[in-house]
Amino acid sequence: MLSSFFLQAQNVVPVTCPVVPRGIVEVRGNRVVAVHPASEKRRLPRNRFFDLGESIVIPGLINAHCHLDYTSMAGVIPPPSSFTSWIHSIQGLKRDWTPQDFRASWLEGARMLVESGVTTVCDIESVWDLVPDIAQLTPLRVISCLEFIDLSHSAEASRLLDKLTQLQRLETSHKWTVGISPHAPYSTTPILLRALAKALKPLQNTVTMHIGESAEEWEMFKLQSGPMHEWLAPQRSMKTCAGKSPVQIVSDSGILSPSFLGVHMNYIDRADAEAFGKSGASIVHCPRSHAYFTHGEFPLDLARKNNIPVCLGTDSLATVRFPKTKAPSLCLFAEMREFTRKNPDVSPREVLEMTTKTPARALGLNGQAGTLSKGAFADLVVLRVKTPASDPYEALLSTEDPRPGVMIDGNWVVPPPELQP
């Protein structure tokens, strides 16, 4: 029989209910049992009680979009003059990399995420052969989405679905699941998306896709012109570029569902937001990647008006600007700070929800992750806060703790200083 242990902090932020000052998190095995008020301290066993001092405990963060295998491309491609030229650059880099390079890069990214308080990641896998073994090498909870690019052959859908089925048989750990990522409307075909939609409907796997990321993609589909149109015209049928928007192409295929995450969605119109909102799908916004490309303003108001859940993601380090003096890191706190800088009207509480309960729901982990509540996985982060603000949400976004304590599945993967031997 497992026994509980108890963690008390200056503030416990369960996210799905109000902050508990001097709250006590009870953990048993890999689950949260409860968050107790400070008044219950007297009746709890002293030998299993840990006071974390001036700190805030929050649920482990959920990174809703990442390419771990591109981590070591940090700083290699300078911010480009056009999105299409960036694609050429990354394609060139990928051609030069060996499977070992991608593997080392993936593991380095996973280490960065864990050390910065991420406990679950929805990762885009460009090298299928790394999956699922690599997920055993990190304590992270991983949703591996198989990336798929197909410019012409609709029959290729069966190759993706076969691999998905084959991997699903290996889903023996509650910490790893598999999903798919048809790359983007410009790099796939409507026929492929329709075939996937039909096959995936009963499965409810996570499906995630880059949509409306660049002005050039919008121009290609809506105006049948621009650098992306010129580049792809010799390689794919351009019949689909007949005035429909990227979101409309995806929506018409029938693939949108509550298990669908549309990544970026920087270029959408009102009808797109309405269709997307009705489907129950979510958006993933990657603030630092957005800044790297200097895209147009992220349409947060349209998303809000149509009740579209918005999650945050890091994207990869290949699309993060960083000062020469500071080593880059995959870090959701940095993404939250960048989001707040651009959207100061969004409350710190809402920003934290974008990396906790909102992505948990989008990824089929509602009540399991992104919350400190009864029955959730014991995934949590302990942040040092030297000068506590009156609002703990504000404090946790404004304080930079270089090395937060991190627990995943009931195990300290980065013990907080109080618990280090």
Size, binding site for Zn ion by CB under 5 A: 1
Nearer of residues 272 and 315 to Zn ion, judged by Cβ: 315
Closer residue to Zn ion in complex, CB, 67/103: 67
Taking the complex as a whole, the smallest distance from the CB of residue 312 to Zn ion amounts, in Å, to 13
| Shortest distance (Å) from residue 283 CB to Zn ion | 13
Q: Which is nearer to Zn ion, 58 or 284 (CB)?
A: 284
**Rounded to the nearest whole angstrom, what is the least distance from the CB of residue 402 to Zn ion in the complex?**
26
Strand ranges, E, within 222-356: 260-264, 282-285, 310-312
* Residue nearer to Zn ion on the CB measure, 123 or 315: 315
C-alpha angle with apex 315: 306 to 62, nearest 5 degrees?
70
Amino acid letter, residue 272: D
Closer to Zn ion by CB, 229 or 288: give it: 288
- Pattern of binders to Zn ion over 270-309, x per CB under 5 A? ----------------------------------------
Q: What is the DSSP letter of 295?
A: P
Q: Which of residues 161-200 bind Zn ion (CB under 5 A)?
A: none
Q: Which residue number has the CB closest to Zn ion? A: 315
* CB of 24 or CB of 228, closer to Zn ion: 228
Q: Tell the residue number behind the tokens 């504000």, with chain if given.
A: 394
Q: Where does residue 163 rank: exposed (0-12), middle (13-18), buried (19+ CB within 10 A)?
A: middle
CB of 320 to Zn ion, least distance (A): 12
Residues 137-156 that bind Zn ion (CB under 5 A): none
- Within 8 A by CB and 6+ apart from 381, the residues are 57, 58, 59, 60, 61, 117, 119, 404, 405, 406, 407
Say whether 55 sits in a helix, a strand or coil.
Answer: strand
List b or e across 203-232, with b for residues whose CB sees 16 or more CB atoms inside 10 angstroms.
eebbbbbbbbbbbbbbbbbbeeebbbbebb
- End-to-end CA gap in the chain: 26
**Positions in 306-345 near Zn ion (CB under 5 A):** 315
Q: How far is the CB of 345 from Zn ion (least distance, A)?
A: 26
Output the smallest distance, CB 87 to Zn ion, in A: 12
SS3 content of the chain, % helix, strand, coil (to 5): 40, 20, 40
* Close Cβ partners of 317 (under 8 Å, ≥ 6 residues apart): 70, 71, 72, 73, 74, 75, 109, 328, 329, 330
* Residues 143 and 175: beta-carbon distance below 8 Å: no
Q: Which of the residues 243 through 262 are near Zn ion (CB under 5 A)?
A: none
- Report the site for Zn ion in 6-35 (rule: CB under 5 A): none
Task: Supply the minimum distance, in Å, between the C-beta of residue 257 and Zn ion.
Answer: 20
Closer to Zn ion by CB, 56 or 184: give it: 184
Q: How far is the CB of 115 from Zn ion (least distance, A)?
A: 21
Bond before 132 cis per omega within 30 degrees:
yes
Q: Closer to Zn ion by CB, 12 or 283: give it.
A: 283
Which residues contribute to the site for Zn ion (CB under 5 A)?
315
